[in-house]
Amino acid sequence: MQNEMVFIIADISGYTKYMLDNESALAHSQGIISELLNAVIKQVQIPIRIAKFEGDAIFLFSEKRSEISWGNDGKLIGESLPKFMLAFDKKLDALVSVNSCPCGGCKNMNLLRLKIIAHKGIALKYKMGKFTELSGKDVIIVHRLLKNTIPSNKYIMLSEAAQHFLNVVGDFTLGIEKYEDIGDISVYYQLYDEAKVEFQLKKKNMKDVYFKKKWELNYLFESSFTKKTKT
């Protein structure tokens, strides 16, 4: 049965060139890629699930469980995307800082970047052996969006449907991606650097704390007022 879903691809930019240029150091190169992808995987939490690994990318999804939970799921998914980016950056910085290997794979890992694509749509989920597979037009769209005209190799890009549903922090730029087979797709993208991600997450956390404290103070005031009224 088809269901409403959010599709996410966390893709390492520069992977093909990196692996080809450092073929003689394949074991080290692949080890670095695995470390970086594992850093992202550690940030994956319900309601997001891993669909499959696609070489240099992780294909993730979240499906609508109920009308009641779906809106909150969208908020949680949106909050996760910058965390994926930050986890990748921190792991890359850590690997670079301790590296003493002169091989091409280790020497050039600082050129790797992460891009995240998200789209909201409909898909059919089915089993192929022990694996979960997704199919449908929207699965094709999220993969097509990997090939785009964004002037960077480190960004978060949301389709229009995803942008309206997810609560991703930051300022996004509107763009249009054109494809012969699926037509024009409106997208919203934000270029990233580590300092920007950390600042936005801290800003959001401070905002969440502010509203929580405000709610607690209002609750205490109302409770105190109610008790005085009764007495």
Q: pLDDT digit string (tens) for 130-177?
A: 878 999 999 999 999 999 999 899 999 999 999 999 978 888 999 999
pTM above 0.85, yes or no: no
Rounded (10°) angle between helices 67-98 and 194-230: 140
User: What is the rounded distance in angstroms from the CA atom of residue 177 to the CA atom of residue 52?
Assistant: 25
pLDDT band at 79 (very low <50, low <70, confident <90, very high): very high
Residues 6+ apart with CB under 8 A from 231: none
CATH topology classification for 2-192: Alpha-Beta Plaits (3.30.70)
Strand partners, 8: 60, 118
Arithmetic mean of pLDDT over the chain: 85
User: In this structure, are residues 48 and 60 in contact, taking their beta carbons and an 8 Å threshold?
Assistant: yes
**How high is the pLDDT of residue 187?**
96
Rounded (10°) angle between helices 26-41 and 67-98: 140
pLDDT band at 227 (very low <50, low <70, confident <90, very high): low
**How high is the pLDDT of residue 199?**
46
Other CB atoms within 10 A of residue 21 CB: 15
pLDDT band at 223 (very low <50, low <70, confident <90, very high): low
Bond preceding residue 47 cis, omega within 30 of 0 = yes
**pLDDT tens digits for 49-73?**
999 999 889 999 999 999 999 999 9
User: What is the rounded distance in angstroms from the CA atom of residue 109 to the CA atom of residue 219?
Assistant: 52
User: What is the rounded distance in angstroms from the CA atom of residue 188 to the CA atom of residue 139?
Assistant: 18
pLDDT band at 195 (very low <50, low <70, confident <90, very high): very low
**73 or 216, greater pLDDT:** 73
